[in-house]
Amino acid sequence: MPWQKASSTPTPNPSIQRPAAVPSSDTVRQAALSASWARDRRVARRRLAIRWLFWAWWRFGLPVLLALALAVWLLGQMPPANMPAWLKPMTASVPFNLSNSSKKPPTTTSPPSENAPHGKEP
């Protein structure tokens, strides 16, 4: 029978990949441990960085922020005469004078005396 001849058996094609062999349990365990250790190192670095940031904020950032806030508040409380020139508000070249206004001066009236009649005479 021709199909049973040894010369007619097909040779395997080298370009076709065989499925990968199933890894051993030791290889899987080592890979899992390696991944776990790598993640552990990343988490530890992140937690350490966060601790350092909190420490630096409490040690340096917050006092600087409070000092700046105090300086701004004190400058706001300062009267305009003592204010530095670069912080003074812009003023007009001709100041507004209230004494030149067209308002009538207030009249002075004396209060009614105690002996004066109040409305009707008796």
| Extents of the domains making up the chain | 26-78
Residue 89 or residue 77, greater confidence: 77
Ordered DSSP codes for 18-81: PPPPPPPHHHHHHHHHHHHHHHHHHHHHHHHHHHHHHHHIIIIIHHHHHHHHHHHHHHHHS-GG
Residue 99 or residue 103, greater confidence: 99
What is the rounded average pLDDT for all residues in the chain?
78
pLDDT, tens only, 23-67: 899 999 999 999 999 999 999 999 999 999 999 999 999 999 999
Residue 12 pLDDT more than 80?
no
Q: Would you state the pLDDT for residue 19?
A: 74
Poorest-pLDDT segment among 37-46, 51-60, 71-80, 82-91: 82-91
Q: Would you state the pLDDT for residue 39?
A: 96
C-alpha count within 13 angstroms, C-beta hemisphere, residue 19: 2
Confidence of residue 8 (pLDDT cuts 50, 70, 90): low
Q: Would you state the pLDDT for residue 53?
A: 96
